[in-house]
Structure 1
Amino acid sequence: MSEPTNRDYRTERDSMGELQIPADAYYGIQTLRAIENFPISGLKPLPTYVDACVLIKKATALTNGELGCIPSEIAEAIVRAADEILQGQWRDQFVVDVYQAGAGTSHHMNVNEVLANRALELLGDRKGNYSRVSPNDHVNFGQSTNDTIPTAIRVGGLLALEHHFYPALSEAIAALDDKAIEFKDIVKSGRTHMQDAVPVRLGETFGAWAQILTDHLIRIENAAKDLTVIGLGGSATGTGLNTHPQYYTRVAQVLSELIQLPLEPALHYMAAMQSMAPFVSVSGALRNLAQDLIKISHDLRLMDSGPKTGLKEIQLPPVQPGSSIMPGKYNPVMAEMTSMVCFQVMGYDSAIALAAQGGQLELNVMMPLIAYDLIHSIEILGHTIAALTERCLKGITAKGDRCAEYAEGSLALVTALNPHIGYLNAAAIAKESLETGKSLRQLVLEKGLMSEEQLAQVLDLQKMSALPGSAQARSRELS
């Protein structure tokens, strides 16, 4: 490859010296230094996080232009550049590795430089002419990495929840509720300790999962309320240095309008800058959901196990061949994928908790890690739930005969006999049934412990598997 000519580059200067920047790049010298310093993972900032940062820059340009802090034509050009990015242009210009300079200064300057250089072009000027539009003096007026990045994590988290997560979880709950209705009359054997237990309704198994996810949705929504309190305007250390007196209230209002979600200024800007507690709280709520999703996905796999040598109480939709060597094999791949993603979310939660402890004095410098892990957790969990719902939950069918066979044959039915023949007699009946293969009904009648009519009433599977009155609320609501 031939050496590029000088015309392929432009020269930019910062406080450390000069570097040659590719002529077509919208990023600048500080971004290039970060590229050279952090060739770590190849992971670039998530699009949602970029959107959050650009939305903040748009809000600050509108506010600073309105307050007369930067020239109106420059403010308008920055806003136009921001809109282009939000519409999908110049996305390849956000290039700093996820693992980078503490607090996120490198990514922050990447955003500032791209907006400044595109604004210059929109004004008919050339890239790099920062005397006219400066990444620091105009795009970043009245701001600091230290108040911008915590706000971007909040906004990015809110956007990810609204666009990727809440709709998916709500759809999963609806799908499980539908199955609860569809399977409401099917009785199956319950199992505790992986051993036979008293019968349950297959529909209520799905109804219980729907309630579990509903409870998690409420927990996550409550945790996310803390994300709506922003410290934008705190500047470098939370004191608001170099900001207009009206900036912090006005910018919160403008940003709220842009994202169409309620935001409010923090009561104490130093606190909003230093504490990562809101992110830990949301991440912890996601981890809590992930733990139950793992359990549900494992239950789905067990209930579908077989087809000949497992439980096979339900049939999960086959979505792809399951083996490279065994023809006709189909695996519960959607449930397996769900567990893997949940493991990753739980790992991210541990990293976020550790990073949240990593601040000193006026700043937490581990915010880039928190930003990536939190927003990525929300998005991959939302995408996982959406895929699981569409390609698994909605298509589940019941194996009613298999469920009934297990329910009728379960030794745990003897539990219903306790009040009528006593615990010791019931235990002896269960033991003899297991040893001889005779049914519980047969042995009770042979020993004259109960009449056939009494036994039919006591071992009524529909009655035995009915939920107690207070637990029927969801079932009544759905039916």
Structure 2
Amino acid sequence: MSFRIETDGLGEIQVPKNVLWGAQTQRSLHYFSIGRELIPHEMIEAYAILKRSCALANASSGRLSQEKCDLIVRICDEIIKGQHDQMFPLHVWMTGSGTQFNMNVNEVIANRASQITGQPLGSKKPLHPNDDVNMAQSTNDNFPSAMYIASALAVHRKLLPALDRFENSIEQKSQEWSDIVKVGRTHLQDAVPITLGQEWHGYVGMLKDNKERLQQALRGIFALALGGTALGTGVNTEAGYAEKACQEIAHYTKLDFHSGNNKFALQGAHDGLVHLSGCLRTLAGSLFKIANDIRLLACGPRAGLGELTLPTNEPGSSIMPGKINPTQAEALTMLCLQVMSNDVAVGMGGAGGMLDMNAYKPLIIQNIMQSLTLLHDGMENFRKFLIEGTTANKDHIKQALDHSLVLVTALSPIIGYDKASQVAHHAVEHGLSPREAALELGFIDGATYDKVADPRLMLKPNIKR
């Protein structure tokens, strides 16, 4: 491999000849070759949006020439389109501020400008990575701002639409199964009747609540630290710069980003991201319950509950022919546990900020972006390959309902709790249905039993005076 020589504040260093990154990126690759995780791809676009917005803000005040601004905007647009993705090779496990990634972006923009204008790579002409591309910025304010931008875009573009589709699919099943009466279960034991539609309507409510939580969390993500520079004081910026730069970000993304009122809080802590991560954990918990419920209701199918029949996607065993497993549920529940674990890391990283800057930034954004990706992909797969193809085993559901002892619950207002309990025990001891047991004990006549113990009357308030 051939090299060129670039310089930074520490002196000279060899950089591969044809790459667009520079000295500080190369030092990071040398000193932080830890693990396989790279800075999340979403941060590349977020930083490009941020850099173009800062350039526009600086140009509007005359601090940055229009020629340099136009060049930065042009290159940022290339980066946003994914044209230079391979030029961002840095690992997550680096400095906790993310400084080298900020410089990676600055160096790529500066060297691409040199390339466009026919200047040697590393010449820092016509753009200097610090003086021009990083003008009025510090990693301490632009890295958290990029984290917020990346997170908000991912929630808005991917997670919420996937959650909408997931909820709609569940809602369709709820409506389709609104007339299928089944045995409810508490403590995994038979309970009073419920419709399969009502059971799934509960899932719909959980998902709606999660959407509201995410939308509320987004409001805390829209306030940006940008303009605070090193510590939140705004040193090396002009009055009005922060507001202008954030307005440009809002205009470009069409989201409600704005300059945060208290940049000391936004730079010393990243509580907005911690809150968002907590909402992702809550969504993961809801999906975990839904997936586990579905695979439990489908278990068997002949030696288990067998109320649901799942799609036959792939063989379930290498030794047992015909075995089909709830693999989509397994995948979803596994990724939900990963999201819950990620939230622990985000929470600890958020709490770990010391004095005027949090030094766990790459850890926080790595875990949040993984959680967002896993939840999006998991919901999409579970919806397409399980929910949409799942059917109700109506005959089996009816058979279980007809033999359920909990129908005696409807007798309590008529014959009293104690006698209703005797009916249940008598049915168990003598292998009778609840109706047969009630008639044999002489507690009620057949016509009255049929009238009050109709499972459909137990699906809503049923006492009349």
Which interval holds the TM-score relative to the shorter structure? over 0.9
1:362 aligns to 2:352 (yes or no) = no
1:137 aligns to 2:131 (yes or no) = yes
Aligned to 1:72: 66
Question: CA offset at residue 131 of structure 1?
Answer: 4.8
Question: CA offset at residue 246 of structure 1?
Answer: 2.1
Q: Which one-letter code corresponds to 1:423 in the other structure? A: Y
Matches within 5 A, 1:62-461: 62-461=56-455
User: Percent identity between the aligned chains?
Assistant: 37
Secondary structure, counterpart of 1:174 in structure 2:
helix
CA distance in 1, matches of 2:155, 2:462: 35
CA distance in 1, matches of 2:395, 2:70: 69
Q: Which one-letter code corresponds to 1:93 in the other structure? A: M
Secondary structure, counterpart of 1:449 in structure 2:
coil
Question: CA offset at residue 467 of structure 1?
Answer: 7.0
Equivalent pairs counted in the alignment come to: 463
1:318–1:330 contact (8 Å) kept in structure 2: yes
Secondary structure, counterpart of 2:98 in structure 1:
helix
CA distance in 1, matches of 2:240, 2:216: 30
Aligned to 1:475: none
TM-score by length of 1: 0.94
CA distance in 2, matches of 1:330, 1:32: 51
Question: CA offset at residue 126 of structure 1?
Answer: 2.0
User: 170-179 or 45-54: which moved more?
Assistant: 45-54
CA distance in 2, matches of 1:184, 1:97: 51
2:113–2:126 contact (8 Å) kept in structure 1: no
* Cα distance change on mapping 1:467 and 1:204 into 2, 3 Å: farther
Cα-to-partner distance string for 1:245-291 (whole Å, 9 max, x where unaligned): 12111101101011111111111211121121111111111111111
Q: Which one-letter code corresponds to 2:82 in the other structure? A: G
* Cα distance change on mapping 1:292 and 1:468 into 2, 3 Å: farther
Cα-to-partner distance string for 1:110-162 (whole Å, 9 max, x where unaligned): 11111111122122222111153111111100000000011111111111001
1:31–1:110 contact (8 Å) kept in structure 2: yes
CA distance in 1, matches of 2:128, 2:402: 77
Question: CA offset at residue 355 of structure 1?
Answer: 0.3
Aligned to 2:3: 9
Aligned to 1:472: none
1:69–1:244 contact (8 Å) kept in structure 2: no
Question: CA offset at residue 468 of structure 1?
Answer: 8.5
2:193–2:455 contact (8 Å) kept in structure 1: yes
Q: Which one-letter code corresponds to 1:57 in the other structure? A: K
CA distance in 1, matches of 2:266, 2:106: 22
1:103–1:366 contact (8 Å) kept in structure 2: yes
User: 169-178 or 40-49: which moved more?
Assistant: 40-49
1:45–1:98 contact (8 Å) kept in structure 2: yes
1:74–1:119 contact (8 Å) kept in structure 2: no
1:200–1:466 contact (8 Å) kept in structure 2: no
Secondary structure, counterpart of 1:103 in structure 2:
coil
Secondary structure, counterpart of 2:137 in structure 1:
coil
CA distance in 2, matches of 1:290, 1:409: 36
1:284–1:349 contact (8 Å) kept in structure 2: yes
CA distance in 1, matches of 2:461, 2:105: 56
Q: Which one-letter code corresponds to 2:226 in the other structure? A: L
Aligned to 1:477: none
User: 84-93 or 374-383: which moved more?
Assistant: 374-383
Cα-to-partner distance string for 1:205-256 (whole Å, 9 max, x where unaligned): 1111011100111011111110011121111111111112121111011010
| Matching residue within 14, 25, 31 for 2:19 | 25
**Following TM superposition, where does structure 1 have runs of at least 4 consecutive aligned residues deviating by more than 2 angstroms?**
465-469
The runs of 5 or more residues in structure 2 that have no matched partner are: none
Question: CA offset at residue 387 of structure 1?
Answer: 1.3
CA distance in 1, matches of 2:181, 2:291: 21
